[in-house]
Each structure stands twice: as C-alpha cells, then as structure tokens.
C-alpha cells in the first residue's frame, strides 16, 4: 500500500508514487490545480507549525504521559518532509515524472515512499498505545501506576520498529522506471513493482490487503473496543478511596481530557481516511466496479486524496486545542 495508491494527478487511477501515465496523457477529470496546490501548501505549513509546537511543548514539559502524542507529531512530520512537497511539485507539473535520476533518484524514490507510508503506520499504532494507556488508567489503575518511563519509551520505539517492518518490502518494490511519451521524450517515474521475484499483480494485491488489515482495520477495531470499555468504566474510579476528594476530581478530569483527545484524534482519523479506505477496499476486492474516467468517481477520489493528506495537520492542532497542559505551555512559550 502506498498511502495514496489509487489517486492520480492524471485521473487514470494510478498512484502518485507509481504511476505509468505519461506527461502528455489527457486528463479524465480533476479538481483545479490551483485549489489542490493551495490545499497542500496550507496543509504543509499547518502541519509543520502544529507538530513542531507539539514536540517543543513536550520537550519543555517533559511529561512522560504525553510521550506518545509527541511520537505521533514526529511521525506526522515525515509526511511534511517526504510526501507533501512531492504532491505540490507533481500538481504544479501535472505529471508524475520523478525529477532526480540516477542512483540518487533511485535512493530517494525508495526512501520517500518508505518514510511517507511508514508515518501512517506509526500514527495508527500510536493511537493504539494511547487507547491502551487510557484503558489501563481507568480499568486497571494499579497496573497503570506501575508503568515506568522505560516501558513507555519501549512502546513508542515498538511503533517505529513495527511500522518499519511492515514497509521493508518498499526497498525492493520501488524503483525508477524509464518511460517514453508519444513525442519520443523519455522520463522517469518512481514505480512499485514486485517483479521479477513475484507476480506483480497478485503480490501487490496480497501485500496491500495485509497492510490495510494491519495498519488500518485492526488498529481501528482495537481502538474502538478500548474506548468503549473506557467509557463504561470512566465513572468507576477504583482508587478513589485512596485519594483525597480534590485528587480524585483531578484524576477524573485528566482522564476525561485524555479520553476526549483520544476519541477526537481517532474521529479525525476516520473522517480523513475512511473515504480513502472504502475506495481502496473496493479497488482491491472488486476492481471491475471502478470506472476510472467517470466524473463522479474522480471527484470522490480527489476528495479522499485531499482529506487523507490533511490528517497530518488536523491531528496536532486537535491535541493543542484539547489538552490543557499543551495550552498552558504554549502560553508560557509566548510570554
């Protein structure tokens, strides 16, 4: 799975990273280029500012409990660095041509595709870690109190290790491919192919199903179950008898704040990604149902593409707006 595997600037249903379309190919349909570029530029700066503020505030506060949130911000920065600039350049040129050639171009093709997609895995796995922490804090508070900073850092490191392991095949599949257009001009595209070791079509389909299951579907199911369980147990504070009334009130308020943040970020993830997930699932399961040069399909496809690319900017600002600790630290930073 490339993050935007079935979205094409040319409207032919191929991926931005792995399109076989030529620069001169006629477009089926597309949103105005200026609109898409403006949205990507706004997303880039909003994400860069929001995630940088989030990480800076975390470093200043040094609160271990929000380490996972800072981890999500770090993963979102990968999208800003490795993906959004490529989208802006590709939209400006109206082409999927890879501008850097040779060994350096091949290296960037592999690395940019790997890190941009790995960031999504880190984000979803971080949401799972946050949900597990909230679950333990509410349902098993004694066990949660025993969670050390070392264990939390190990969990954060595991999100990157697992995400990297899921996407290691990218270093084999992604490569620069030379193409020739109708006028005889040659150019290069960053393309994914499982050949010659495997059958490209079947291997691509199985790998995409694996990624969508492990990176999106399973984490979202786990998160949903844990959040529902926490919501049912939120009013039952098992440690209330060991705390003062003010302490109990403070713990409950803090738990509700983090739970609201977790639910909001998960909801934002669903809003930004659900349409893309549905369209990709249809393409994987029943590709014959998709009419590539259909105006309605292309409109929905572009909307899903833009929504998904906006998630890296939505997530940090939600955290900054919903978590009082970040708000207080931002006020101190501006003084």
pLDDT single digits (tens) 30-68: 567 788 888 889 999 999 999 998 888 888 877 776 788
Cβ atoms 148, 82 nearer than 8 A = no
8-state DSSP, 99? S
Q: What is the pLDDT of residues 160-188, one digit of tens each?
A: 999 999 999 999 999 988 887 777 778 88
Q: What is the pLDDT of residues 100-109, one digit of tens each?
A: 888 888 898 9
Q: Which two tokens stand for residue 16?
A: 């931005």
Q: What is the pLDDT of residues 213-269, one digit of tens each?
A: 898 889 888 988 888 887 777 655 555 555 556 656 666 666 666 667 667 777 788
Residue 145 confidence (pLDDT) above 80: no
* Whole-number pLDDT of residue 93: 81
Cβ atoms 125, 163 nearer than 8 A = yes
CA distance 235 to 250: 13
The residue among 2 and 8 whose pLDDT is bigger is 2
CA distance 192 to 174: 4
* Whole-number pLDDT of residue 162: 94
* Whole-number pLDDT of residue 163: 94
Is 59 exposed, middle or buried (CB count within 10 Å of its CB: 0-12, 13-18, 19+)?
exposed
* Whole-number pLDDT of residue 161: 95
Nearest CA among 111, 202, 88 for reference residue 164 = 111
CA distance 218 to 197: 29
CA distance 261 to 75: 18
The residue among 27 and 164 whose pLDDT is bigger is 164
Q: Which two tokens stand for residue 47?
A: 């994400």
| pTM (whole model) above 0.85 | no
Q: Which letter, b or e, does each residue of 20-35 get, where b requires 16 or more Cβ atoms within 10 Å of its Cβ?
A: ebbbebeebebeeeee
């Amino acid at each position: 799975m490339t993050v935007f595997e079935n979205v094409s600037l040319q409207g032919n249903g191929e991926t931005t990273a792995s399109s076989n379309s030529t620069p001169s190919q006629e477009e089926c349909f597309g949103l105005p280029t200026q609109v898409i570029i403006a949205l990507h530029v706004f997303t880039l700066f909003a994400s860069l500012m929001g995630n940088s503020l989030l990480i800076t505030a975390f470093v200043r506060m040094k609160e271990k409990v929000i380490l996972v949130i800072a981890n999500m911000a770090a993963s979102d920065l990968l999208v800003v660095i490795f993906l959004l600039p490529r989208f802006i350049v590709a939209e400006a040129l109206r082409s999927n041509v890879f501008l850097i050639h040779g060994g350096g171009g091949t290296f960037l093709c592999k690395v940019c595709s790997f890190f941009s997609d790995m960031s999504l895995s880190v984000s979803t796995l971080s949401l799972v870690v946050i949900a597990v922490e909230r679950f333990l804090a509410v349902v098993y508070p004694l066990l949660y109190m025993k969670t050390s900073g070392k264990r939390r850092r190990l969990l954060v490191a595991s999100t990157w290790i697992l995400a990297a392991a899921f996407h290691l095949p990218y270093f084999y599949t992604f490569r620069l491919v030379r193409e020739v257009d109708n006028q005889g001009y040659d150019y290069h595209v960053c393309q994914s192919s499982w050949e010659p070791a495997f059958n490209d079509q079947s291997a691509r389909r199985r790998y995409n199903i694996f990624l969508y299951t492990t990176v999106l579907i399973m984490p979202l199911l786990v998160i949903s179950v844990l959040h529902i369980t926490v919501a049912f147990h939120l009013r039952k504070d098992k440690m209330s008898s060991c705390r003062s009334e003010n302490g109990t009130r403070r713990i409950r308020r803090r738990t509700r704040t983090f739970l609201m943040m977790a639910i909001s970020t998960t909801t934002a993830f669903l809003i930004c990604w659900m349409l893309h997930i549905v369209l990709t699932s249809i393409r994987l399961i029943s590709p014959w149902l998709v009419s590539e040069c259909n105006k309605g399909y292309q409109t929905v496809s572009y909307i899903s593409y833009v929504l998904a690319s906006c998630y890296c900017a939505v997530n940090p600002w939600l955290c900054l707006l919903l978590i009082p600790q970040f708000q207080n630290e931002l006020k101190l930073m501006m003084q």
